Amino acid sequence: MANSKTLPKTEQISERYRDLDAWSPEEALDVLWEAQLSAVAAVRAALPGIESAVAAALPLLCGRGRLVYVGAGTSGRIAAQDGAELPPTFDWPRERLVTLMAGGDAAFTGAVEDAEDDAAAGLAAILHHGVGQGDVVIGVAASGGTPFTLAAVQEAARHGALTIGIANSPGSKLLAAAACPVLVDTGAEPIAGSTRMKAGTAQKVALNLFSTLLMLRLGRIHQGLMVDMRASNEKLRGRAMRMLQRLTSCDASAASLALENAGGNVKTAVLLLHGLDVAAARSLLSLHQGHLRAALMEIEK
C-alpha cells in the first residue's frame, strides 16, 4: 500500500468527508457545495502563473502559432471544451486549434481504459500534428503525473513549443516539465481521487481565465463585447446587431447594412460606420493586429 505522503494530493483521503455517505442529503449537498467554492478560491493563488503563461503565449499566437490542448479523462474533456469554445466565441481559426485526448475521440464521451498510461501515444500525437516552434501546448492533469500528458508536453518542448502545465498537485512532474507551470492546489477530494469534483472545477476556471485573458490581449474583445464572434445563427446575428448599435449609436437599418458589407464582422462594420470602406477598414485592423480600440484612435487623430 502506497504511503499517503507519496500520493498526489488529489488521491489522498480527507477525514473531513469520512462519513459523507452517512449524512443527510441536505448535509451532503452543503458540504459538496462548500468544496466547490474552495476549488474556485484555490485558483486565486494561480493568477500570477496564468498571467505569466498568457504573456509567454501572446507573441507566438500573434503570429501563426497554434493552441494545442492535451489531457486524459476528465482533464482532457475540460481542456477540449475550452478549446472548442474559442472559434465560435472569438473566431479563433480552427486550423490553429489542436486537441490531443488520450484514447482519441472515443474518450470524449466514455472511458478508454489504460489510455492515460500510454506515454508513447502522447509522444506520437505531438509528432503526428507536427507540433513545434511557434505553437503553445497546454497540458492539463490533476495529479500532474499522467503519462500521456506528460510525454506530450515533454516532446512538444523538445521540438521548441511553449509548454504550459496546469496541475492540482504540488511538486508534480508536469509542473516541473512545463515552461509555464500553473499550480491550482485544490487538495484532497470529497470522494478520494474523484477529480471531476474540486480539481475539475478549478481546471475549468483556470482555463477560462487563461483563454479569455489571451483573447482579450489579442484584441478579440472590445468594451466587454465579443467583437470577433462568429454570427452563425439567428441569436448571434441579433447579438452582432446589438453590439454594433451600442458601439456606434447607429440605427438598426444602418447596422444591418454595415454588417452585410463587412461580411458579418463587427469590428469591420464599426469602421465602416466611421466612414471607411471595407478594404481600408480591414487594412487598419491588420495594422493594429486586430485591436479595434487602436484602430479607432488612429481615425480620431
> What integer pLDDT is reported at residue 1 of this predicted model?
41
Shared domain for 66 and 203, answered yes or no, is: yes
Assigned domain for 241 exists: yes
- The residue to which cell 463587427 is assigned: 266
Shared domain for 203 and 153, answered yes or no, is: yes
| Overall pTM > 0.85 | yes
Compute CA distances 134 → 3, 172, 174, 216, whole Å: 41, 26, 20, 20
Assigned domain for 252 exists: yes
Shared domain for 181 and 57, answered yes or no, is: yes
Is the separation of the CB atoms in 229 and 89 below 8 Å?
yes
Query: pLDDT of the chain along its 301 residues, tens only?
Result: 444 557 888 888 888 888 898 999 999 999 999 999 999 999 999 999 999 999 999 999 999 999 999 999 999 999 999 999 999 999 999 999 999 999 998 888 887 878 999 999 999 999 999 999 999 999 999 999 999 999 999 999 999 999 999 999 999 999 999 999 999 999 999 888 889 999 999 999 999 999 999 999 999 999 999 999 878 788 988 999 999 999 999 999 999 999 999 999 999 999 999 999 999 999 999 999 999 999 999 998 7
Shared domain for 112 and 249, answered yes or no, is: no
CATH of the domain at 269: 1.10.8.1080
Q: What is the 3-state secondary structure (H, E, C) of 84-96?
A: HCHHHHHCCCHHH
- The residue to which cell 495529479 is assigned: 143
Shared domain for 261 and 189, answered yes or no, is: no
Which residues are catalytically annotated? 85, 116
Distance, CA of 269 to chain centre = 28
Strands (E) located in the chain: 67-71, 97-101, 136-141, 162-167, 180-183
Is the separation of the CB atoms in 6 and 17 below 8 Å?
no
Shared domain for 47 and 196, answered yes or no, is: yes
> What integer pLDDT is reported at residue 113 of this predicted model?
74
CATH of the domain at 100: 3.40.50.10490
**Host domain of residue 295:** 234-299
Assigned domain for 27 exists: no
Assigned domain for 8 exists: no
Shared domain for 75 and 129, answered yes or no, is: yes
Nearest CA to 274 out of 250, 256, 252 is that of: 250
C-alpha cell at 64: 501563426
Encode burial over 21-45: b for 16+ CB neighbours within 10 A, e otherwise: eeeeeeebeeeeeebeeebeebbee
Shared domain for 212 and 266, answered yes or no, is: no
Shared domain for 131 and 89, answered yes or no, is: yes
Shared domain for 150 and 72, answered yes or no, is: yes
Assigned domain for 34 exists: no
Number of domains in the chain: 2
